[in-house]
Each structure stands twice: as structure tokens, then as C-alpha cells.
Amino acid sequence: MIKTKKISSWQSCCFACALSMVLLLPAVIEAQDNTGFNGKWILIPDKSSEIGLYRTLTIEIQLHGPSVIINQTWGKSRSFTEKLILKTDGSTNLLPISNRVFPTNVFMGLSMAVGSKRQIRATWENKGTQLKLEERYDVKSSQGISQIISTSTYELSEDKEILTYRIHRSSRKLGTEVKYVLKQADSKNAYFMKLEDNWEIDGRLD
């Protein structure tokens, strides 16, 4: 006969707490390196997909515990700004659509369905170096209203100075993607000066 040992309620509680910590540990480790996303990012046009009308893109990201705030500004003098406040625990965020602008390409003949809600599921992946957004939303076209399924990823480079923003949509052909490459606003800035007359510099320069 095999004898069994009775486990007290206190021991059972301790075991449950320990199990919870073990299950939560991977999520903590996964998100431990995501602070590099904080700050302002500006577009590198030569490495990015073309942006109709607006031409350029600026992204500001702020991390607040289990949530993230993403501000996208498309264009400069003529611009469109979108603010997303998302929980990153994998739950579904429901965001009301209040503007018809479809910013990535306003010439596609699509407009956002104002009055409906956008469903976004946000999660951290690859040890916190990638933020993944799984989205569902309605758009209006000449054929009527249809639902778009989209996956967006914000991926940080190893040196944390380059942010790559990719968008895959169910409405686009297989193998095509929208990609925007951005750099930190306060790093790797380059300037040039146009000089009049005829200037010549001889010798070896750094």
C-alpha cells in the first residue's frame, strides 16, 4: 500500500504562489529589454516604403508599465496624427475610429469606417525587442464596407538606434509589405551647407 501525505492549505497556497511566479517569469524576461523603444523616431525615406501625400512619418513611443502609448504623425505642414494607448498583455484593445483618414496611402480609395471600433491585440516578442500588433478594423471602399486583418511590428535594432515598422495586411498580395525604417531623433544627424563661388580643399581630411 502506498501512503500519501496530506498537504495543508498553507502548503497548497505556497505551491500555487510558486507556480504562478514560474508561469509569469517568461513574460517578465520577455519584456525586460523594451525600454529602448522610448523616445521620438524619424523616418529614413531612402530605406522606407513610399508614403503617398504625407511623404514622411514621425513616431513617438512611451512605455508605462504594462501599457504603451504610440503617437504617429504623418506629414509635416499637412499632417495627420494618430494616438494609440494599448495594453500589452495580449488582451484586446477596443479603440473607437473617429477619423476616416487611411494614412499609409490615402490614394488607395479606402477610408476608415468612422463610428466603428478598431480591435488591437498588442504583445512583446523576441525578449522585448519587438512589439507586435494584431488588428481588425472596417474600411469603406467603392464596393462597400469590408474588414481588414493587419499585423504590425515595431522592431528595435541591436544597437537600439534603428526602429523598423512593418505592416502586413490581408488586402495586399502575398509577399508584399509596407516597411518604414526610422532612427532616433537625436542621433546620427547629418547637415550640409551650400557654398557660393568656387571653393577647393586640398589634402587629407578625416
pLDDT band at 191 (very low <50, low <70, confident <90, very high): confident
Q: What is the pLDDT of residues 92-128, one digit of tens each?
A: 999 999 999 999 888 888 999 999 999 999 999 999 9
> Pick from 100, 129, 125: which is nearest to 33 by CA?
129
> Pick from 125, 153, 154: which is nearest to 30 by CA?
125
State which amino acid sits at residue 162: I
Residue 77 has pLDDT above 70, yes or no: yes
Residue 14 has pLDDT above 90, yes or no: no
Query: How much of the chain exceeds pLDDT 70, in percent?
Result: 81
State which amino acid sits at residue 104: T
pTM of the model: 0.76
Beta strands in the chain (DSSP E): 39-43, 57-64, 67-74, 80-87, 89-96, 111-112, 117-125, 130-141, 144-156, 162-169, 178-184
